[in-house]
Amino acid sequence: MEFKALLLCFIASILITPVVKKLAVKIGATDKPNERKVHQKLMPRLGGLAIFLSFIAGVLLFYPDSPYTWPLIIGSTIIIITGVLDDMKELSPKWKMAGQLAAALIVVIAGNVKVEYINIPFGDTLQFGWFSIPITILWIVGITNAINLIDGLDGLAAGVSSIALLTISGMAISMGDIFVSMVGLITLGSTLGFLVYNFYPAKIFMGDTGALFLGFIISVLSLLGFKNITLFSFIIPVIILGVPISDTIFAIVRRFVQRKPLSSPDKSHLHHCLLRLGYTHPETVLMIYAMAALFSLAAVIFSQATMFGSVFVLFTLLILIELVVEVTGLISQNYRPILNLIRDYRTKR
């Protein structure tokens, strides 16, 4: 059943995307090149609508009766409306945030999707009480924007999202969670169908319509997939989404160090840094795919390891992230503590 859902949504997305491309041009949902963007010509950017329509068809056909289905559909519809308006008219940040908060509230209140507690190792259960609502909303909005921030190269956000969806769905299958596995594979099929047109050289961009939608779905599925929360199981979705989360965190750090507003755009995200190092557009995308796959593999190992093994995996990932930050100049070109330490050691030898 899961494979049928994935295949059907894949085919539906392939068929719908060209229609959406024509619609985007007709209504003016296009992306103009500027000094901050990589592309050099006017591009249609409503591609997320094709992903959404394929997703809706799959969910209604294969899993219409879950208590989570309609809150998820209503919430994602609000996200899509927000994204479409932004792709057409460039909404202000406050209106984009309003749409994301409204979608998150629908899922939290109507769908009862909340992080209510965490079991602490060798300790008691930490109950969040009323804080469970803002904590859950913060997660949904944070991941939604993290996916949006990495949508800077052809096929990048769609590919990274597909890797995360495959991992979440696979782990859900192993845990017997039918809803998360089914919806995850439906979204995966819809995204892969769109990726046929979106990989370099892209014929259409997903726009905020797609990036916000994928971020929203992934954030909700990751909560549902790991709702029996211990401190360590809460880390699993963080690891799976390691690429967009770390890129977002370092963007915040970078803007704080440079004393710029957090909402100010720049050309110092991971993909920009790799391009400056001399990698081509497709090489950069494939390298980030590999990083996302490494995080997903680490999440699977982390979920099966002993406590010592989990700590070792986490420590290794943190060291690797630090090295990537220093090599690429993700914070600044002068921030290289570990690399400088290695250089000094070699000099003394």
* 32-45 pLDDT, tens digit each: 766 555 556 788 98
pLDDT of residue 109: 92
Residue 227: pLDDT over 90: no
pLDDT of residue 345: 78
> For the chain, how many structural domains are there in total?
1
* pLDDT digits 0-9 by tens, 243-279: 999 999 988 888 887 777 766 777 788 998 999 999 9
pLDDT of residue 165: 96
Nearest CA to 165 out of 10, 17, 326, 273 is that of 10
Residue 228: pLDDT over 60: no
pLDDT of residue 34: 60
User: 319 falls in which pLDDT band (50, 70, 90)?
Assistant: very high
The neighbour count for residue 120, using CB atoms within 10 Å, is 12
% residues pLDDT > 70 (the chain)? 93
pLDDT of residue 38: 59
For residues 91 and 242, give the distance between their C-alpha atoms in angstroms, rounded to a whole number. Answer: 28
Report residue 217: phi and psi, to 5°.
-65, -45
Average pLDDT, integer, range 231-241: 81
* pLDDT digits 0-9 by tens, 110-158: 988 887 777 666 666 777 778 889 999 999 999 999 999 899 899 999 9
* DSSP character string of 17-61: HHHHHHHHHHHT-EE---TT-S--S-EE--THHHHHHHHHHHHHH
Residue 293: pLDDT over 90: yes
* pLDDT digits 0-9 by tens, 62-120: 988 899 999 999 999 999 999 999 999 888 889 999 999 999 999 999 988 887 777 66
Average pLDDT taken over every residue of the chain:
89
Residue 330 is part of which domain span? 2-348
pLDDT of residue 331: 84
pLDDT of residue 40: 61
Residue 229: pLDDT over 60: no
Q: Beta strands 30-31 and 117-119: pairing type?
A: unpaired
Nearest CA to 228 out of 116, 67, 106 is that of 116
